[in-house]
Amino acid sequence: MITMINQERITKEFMDLVQIDSVTQYEQQISEVLKTKFTELGLEVREDNTKEETGHGAGNLIVTWKAEGTNEAPKLFFTCHMDTVAPGEGINPQISEDGFIRSDGTTILGADDKAGIAALFEAIRVIQENNIPHGQIQFVITVGEESGLIGARAMKAEDIDAEFGFALDSNGEVGGICVAAPARAQITMKITGKSAHAGVNPEDGISAIQVAAKAIAAMKLGRVDHETTANIGSFSGAGPLNVVCDYAEILAEARSIVQSKVENQVDHMRNALQATCEQYGAKAEFESDIAYPAFKLTDEDEVVKLAARAITSAGLTPQTFPSGGGSDANIFNGFGIPTVNLALGYEDIHTTNERIKVSSLVEAARVVVSIVKESAKS
């Protein structure tokens, strides 16, 4: 039986949420609203103490709903992020005749990720109104996802008490299940050469710009293989035109859904830089940080099977897929909690053309309720 979702209520919830300014790093206002809403629904709300560490306007919210009607169901958690990208101030949402919700075109809409939050609130209300049995459920609402998963990265594994996790933060039609996403390495390369007069004695200098260019040319970049990518995002070196430039800096990244492959790609880029610098007598500095780990689940993993059963029960078609981008799901999988990222149906995120169908909001809430129902059958 397909659960009835109150379309008018979830639409209003979403419209209200997107009108609360919450550009990443400035989550104070939305955090207070969310705490009040969860508390009014009778759930236990805790804000963690990561605000000082992250420099964001609030901590992450960890909301716990105790089991009701069953003690046999596995413990679950659902996660969304409360921040948005810019331009996200003064959002004016509008429903068009084609069933889409958009902004007025001067800002983003904020469906990423307030569509997920609205779906959670509607699901909680439906479960309460229909006395649907459920095990313990946590709702983890993070800050700083758009700043590089800052909020989730500051959390600790013991903050979450769950066997399986479901992020509501992926593009694609509702029913999609993201089962793999890459690790991302952030890389800084610094090249120090030797200055000299560019017209009088250039042979006495070592051009950091030239060395950097040759190092980049020696690197495998772009689509390295079907699971791995690498990119140079920034290349800088500046000085007077009549002086051989003695310093250059490269900012880059590497990604792969296989952890060992991203590590191998980083090693390759490091070796290319060092070998080129040694060849030309320049000094190399190479710094790399794994911003978040990879995860890769299969159709045989229980969290994937649970999501697929629930989506089918909700009258939709489940479809698994890998993503080329990271999300908070990467962090939580790194904690050892199998977590998939569910598609919400939003389109053109991070642009002023962002939009979402009202029907997608309804379907997303229905999927959350269905996951809770299916888990109670376990």
Distance CA 111, CA 113 (A): 5
Task: Give the separation between CA 26 and CA 335, rounded to whole angstroms.
Answer: 26
Please give the angle made by the CA atoms of 358, 359 and 365, to the nearest 5 degrees.
100
Is 159 known to be catalytic? no
Set 122, 145, 159, 354: catalytic member: 145
CB of 206 within 8 A of CB of 247?
no
Distance CA(311)–CA(319), nearest Å, equals 9
Q: Which long-range contacts (CB under 8 A, 24 or more apart) does 299-307 make?
A: 299/179, 301/179, 301/338, 302/164, 302/338, 303/164, 303/165, 303/166, 303/338, 303/339, 303/340, 304/177, 304/179, 304/340, 306/164, 306/371, 306/374, 306/375, 306/378, 307/166, 307/177, 307/340, 307/342, 307/371
Annotated active-site residue 83? The verdict is yes
Q: Which residues pair with 249 in a beta bridge?
A: 190, 236
C-alpha neighbours within 13 Å on the C-beta side of residue 224:
23
Return the active site residues.
Answer: 83, 145
